Amino acid sequence: MDDSVGVAFIGAGTVAEMHGRGVAVVPNARLIGAYDVDPVKARAITAKFGGQVFDSLQQVLASPDVDAVHVLTPVAHHVPDAITSLEAGKHVLLEKPVAQTHAEIAGLKAAAAQAGRVCMPAHNYIYAPSIRRAKRLLETGKLGKVASLWILYNIFHAEDVAATYGGVLRAVCTHHAYSLLYLLGRPRRITATTSRIQQGNLTCEEQAMIVCEMDNGAIANLWTSFAADDPTNDPWTVIYKILGTNGGISYSWNEAQFKDNGGPAWGMSCYEETFTEEIDYFINRCVLAAEPPLSSLSDAADALSILMAAERFLSIAKARETIAYEVEQ
């Protein structure tokens, strides 16, 4: 008897490539097909990774071969697509940010509970083996008292691409926020700053820094930039660093690379691995073994709270102090 989990993709754009690579190698996962409002995209993904092209979401959900869907649409569609899929009895892996409001996340939780199905946020960065080792080292106290955490992301995105993400805070710092929650728990207070470097028509921020105060005095520094790559000999492309009184961890996406310029970070083995590990966890631990995900919808709600606190901070102009120099230029 084939007890593999049949998977379909809802949305077959950029990130579907990484989900395709993941499903292709994860045991017990089988790609049944893909649906995209643009059938050309669905055809391209199924031509590469197998499965059929579906004509509608309803056709996907009516298929008895589909046990789980990966919702890979733009954020505005995440919640309706996920809830419809849960109501049809499908398990859901839902791309980040899972939703735009806390009420929407509450709706997702209720729909998953009602259906008795998994709704797992695609918080892929923490599924990397190095991050899970960091968590174990923290939990066993081997690092001592944590003093600081650094998550640095420096991947250039041209202005037209950056514009489609609508700002790095919601689009990328979500990764930083759920990672911080997984590793150190909830920060108590934050400050934040954002900027733009490219000077065309871009209206959203392309750099952001959120500084979080933890209860024990540790400071967590969450940095994101679409403005520049790091081409130096010790690149900060994506770095996680935790320094404690008794030790530390350092993890870098530059560890292994291959040539693939198809999309940002597509040739970074560590990036690809985050998807493979996440999909393995979704299929084999959550769907088949009924274990909870490493980062839940409640964590997604907490991550949103961190980003909303940063947005509130940024909206209070007087919180940014202008420096008074002795001699004005």
Ligand X SMILES: NC(=O)c1ccc[n+]([C@@H]2O[C@H](COP(=O)([O-])OP(=O)(O)OC[C@H]3O[C@@H](n4cnc5c(N)ncnc54)[C@H](O)[C@@H]3O)[C@@H](O)[C@H]2O)c1
Helix (H) or strand (E) holding 151: strand 146-154
Q: Is 299 one of the binding residues for ligand X (CB under 6 A)?
A: no
From the number of C-beta atoms within 10 Å of its C-beta (0-12, 13-18, 19+), residue 266 rates as: middle
Closest separation between CB of residue 36 and ligand X, Å?
A: 4
Which of residues 37 and 319 has its CB atom nearest to ligand X in the complex?
Answer: 37
**Pick from 211, 220, 271: nearest CA to 244:** 220
Determine how many CB atoms are found less than 10 A away from the CB of residue 52: 17
Q: What is the dihedral of CA 8, 12, 16, 20, to 10 degrees?
A: 50
Instruction: Please name which of 132, 124, 110, 118 lies closest in space to residue 72, comparing C-alpha atoms.
Output: 124
Stretch that binds ligand X, among 10-18, 100-108, 240-248, 293-301 (CB under 6 A): 10-18
Q: Does 13 bind ligand X (CB under 6 A)?
A: yes
Looking at beta carbons only, is 100 or 284 nearer to ligand X? 100
Q: How far is the CB of 124 from ligand X (least distance, A)?
A: 5
- The only residue of 36, 67, 205, 302 in contact with ligand X, by rule CB under 6 A: 36
Q: Which of 5, 10, 242, 303 binds ligand X (CB under 6 A)?
A: 10
**94 pairs with which residues across the strands?**
71, 121
Secondary structure of residue 212 in the 3-state scheme: strand
Verify binding: residue 37, ligand X, rule CB under 6 A: yes
> Look-up: residue for tokens 């709704």?
119
Taking alpha carbons only, the member of 49, 73, 175 closest to residue 124 is 175
Note whether 41 binds ligand X by CB under 6 A: yes
Name the one range near ligand X by CB under 6 A: 33-41, 151-159, 220-228, 307-315.
33-41
**Judged by CB under 6 A, which stretch of 37-45, 191-199, 289-297, 301-309 contacts ligand X?**
37-45
Q: Are 125 and 175 in contact (CB under 8 A)?
A: yes
Pick the closer one to ligand X by CB: 137 or 238. 238
Identify which of residues 35 and 282 has a Cβ nearer to ligand X in the complex.
Answer: 35
The reply on whether position 241 binds ligand X by CB under 6 A is no
- Whole-number Å distance between alpha carbons of 168 and 171: 5
Q: Which of 5, 7, 8, 12 binds ligand X (CB under 6 A)?
A: 12
For residue 180, the cross-strand partners are none
Q: What minimum distance in Å lies between the beta carbon of 192 and ligand X? A: 20
> Of 5-13, 198-206, 227-235, 238-246, which part binds ligand X (CB under 6 A)?
5-13
Q: What is the DSSP letter of 323?
A: P
* Sole window of 8-16, 188-196, 233-241, 250-258 interacting with ligand X (rule: CB under 6 A): 8-16
Q: List Cα–Cα distances, 214 to 147, 181, 188, 275, in angstroms.
A: 9, 11, 6, 29
What mask, x for binding ligand X by CB under 6 A, covers residues 165 to 184?
------x-------------
Paired tokens of 157: 């995105």
Q: At what angle do helices 102-115 and 297-315 cross, to 10 degrees?
A: 170
**Piece in contact with ligand X (CB under 6 A), picked from 68-76, 83-91, 195-203, 236-244:** 68-76
Residue 319 corresponds to which amino acid? A
Site for ligand X in 111-150 (CB under 6 A): 122, 124
> In the complex, which residues of this chain contact ligand X (CB under 6 A)?
10-15, 35-38, 41, 72-75, 77, 95-96, 122, 124, 171
